[in-house]
Structure 1
Amino acid sequence: MVSGALYPCTITHVRTAPRRYALRHRTYLWLIDPDRPPRLPAVLRPLARFDARDHFGGTAPTVRAGLERFLTARGIDLAGGSVTMLTQARVFGHVFNPLTVYWCHRPDGSPLCVVAEVHNTYGERHCYLLRADPDGRAVTGKDFYVSPFFPVDGAYRMRLPEPDRRLNLTVHLEREQARPFTATVRGTRRPGTPGQLLRLFLRHPFSTVVVSAAIRLHGVRLFLRRLPVQPRPRHRTQEGMQ
């Protein structure tokens, strides 16, 4: 049992404005086919669950159905093509996914598009539809409130190549001809086996809770450094995310 792959990884955030600040966090991510999620032994199922309610509008019967609903609203038909999904799983019923990435392919296996699904700490979600080049590079406007210290403007310059042996993602925020924020995810592929999952859980227990708590803790530290807080606009549900 079990399928997919695991990536022990390091996530870094580097701010250069209005003050320099960096954080570094170690965790692990799953790379799966959402049509065939990992099947775990009963004793390990609390360590990895993949729920449709955690993605897109949370109302579709499956993750794949939620993705197709989002793409169809934008005139894109998967037509039975395959999807690869990089994400955090639920661990003991809790999940927080700052970024989930979907690599979508045509039936012949060629790249169709990439969807970057972003969650903030306010319980809101937003998806960016990307037309990446062969190296996984794409640019899109910033349309979603993530950090309370940046307004909703500027653009994201992303490099999101589909992982193989290595996981190597980069997201730059560009504002006023500068890059005040950069996030990276770096990791190495491991087999999605029960033993590997158990080892990673013991090394990074309750990883989704730790990620959520760390983001909030660093937000408090930035606030105490007197970084100005930007007002949060009303979140509008995207078409196809109901």
Structure 2
Amino acid sequence: MTAVRPALVDWASTTVPALYDVRVGHTRSWPLRNRFEYGGYLWLVDLDDLPRLPRGLRWAARFEAADHLGDPAASLKDNVVRFATLHGVDDVARVVMMANARNGPHVFNPLSTHWCYRADGSLACIVAEVHNTYGERHAYLLDPDDAGRAQAEKDFYVSPFNTVDGRYLMRFSGPGEQLHVTMALQVEGRTPFVATLTGRARSATTGVVIRTLLRWPLMSLWVAVLIRWQGIRLWARRLPVVPRPPHDPVAGVVANTHDPLTSPNGDRP
């Protein structure tokens, strides 16, 4: 039987700024089974042209360098470009980021995805930036194949129920009208954890932003609380807690000075 080749990914971005209506799923299959799913939204923005909302809405969506991987005194784009350069990719001309915005006094991004493009519009790399609820951050530079598949050794403590062992098998779509991201953790031949994200883009007009805020107020705070609640449930089911090792940020990642509500994590890879 002839093997079916995976479809090639169109890396082109939808019109930005945009809001993705998303569904996020976490599935744990070992050593116990647990699954949950939640809805919400994420922003998609061009780091050369960050959105500026009307004065009365600016509290609801801010994008600050201090909330992400690099120097808080530099720009978001400069920090992503510097990270890519430090890790061997020196031809990034444009960066499109998917993330939660700072909403009032709070922001939390379990995953910020940076699609990095060359001047000719081709994809140079993806920078996957991960935060845990202990106020720590890490980033992985990924070189996906034509089907969007990438791999990386796990180097960051995310959940108190997983060691810093194993390898991530990931798959990304482009930041188009439809969005698909999968991150599977493999450890010693098992796949104990899989996270998925699917989304549909809407242009971030003022009306769309207002309706989205009314439906999902304080979005990133809700995500942080939900993750902690899942952690409490797993702890109550006697899933063993793994001690957190010291974390040294990799080159191009600066330690977080906006430490968000540090407390135990939930069910994440």
State the TM bucket, normalised to the shorter chain: over 0.9
Unaligned runs of 5+ in 2: 1-14, 255-269
**Within-5 A mapping of 1:16-31:** 16-31=29-44
Specify the alignment match of 2:52 in structure 1.
39
Match of 2:105 among 50, 71, 93: 93
Matches within 5 A, 1:65-84: 65-78=78-91, 81-84=93-96
Gap runs ≥5 in structure 1: none
TM-score w.r.t. the length of structure 1 is 0.96
The reply on whether 1:173 has 2:185 as its aligned counterpart is: yes
1 CA distance for matches of 2:87 and 2:183?
23
CA displacement, residues 129-171 of structure 1 (integer Å, 9 cap, x when unaligned): 1010122110111000001000000000001121211111111
**Offset of residue 58 of structure 1:** 4.4
Question: Is 2:202 the partner of 1:190?
Answer: yes
Q: Which amino acid aligns with 1:189?
A: A
The reply on whether 1:133 has 2:148 as its aligned counterpart is: no
Indicate conservation of the 8 Å contact 1:101/1:117, yes or no: yes
Match of 1:110 in 2: 122
Work out which of the residue numbers 158, 165, 174 in structure 2 matches 1:146. 158
Q: For 1:22, what is the secondary structure of its paired residue? A: strand
Q: How many residues in Structure 1 have an aligned counterpart in Structure 2?
A: 240
4+ aligned runs moved over 6 Å, structure 1: none
**Does the aligned pair in 1 maintain the 2:16–2:44 contact within 8 Å?**
no
What is the TM-score with the length of structure 2 in the denominator?
A: 0.86
Conservation of the 8 A alpha-carbon contact between 1:131 and 1:138: yes
Contact persistence 1:30–1:88 (CA under 8 A): yes
Q: Counterpart in 1 of 2:63?
A: 50
Q: Percent identity?
A: 48
After superposition, what is the alpha-carbon deviation per residue over 1:20-45, rounded to whole angstroms, capped at 9, x for unaligned? 00111111001110111111100111
Opposite residue 156 of structure 1, the aligned amino acid is Y
What CA deviation, in whole Å up to 9, does each residue of 1:155-207 have, x standing for no partner?
A: 00001121211111111011111111011111111111111111111111111
The alignment status of 1:228 with 2:229, answered yes or no, reads no
Q: Cα 1:58–1:227, aligned 2, differ >3 Å: closer, same or farther? A: farther
The separation in 2 between residues aligned to 1:103 and 1:60, in whole angstroms, is: 22
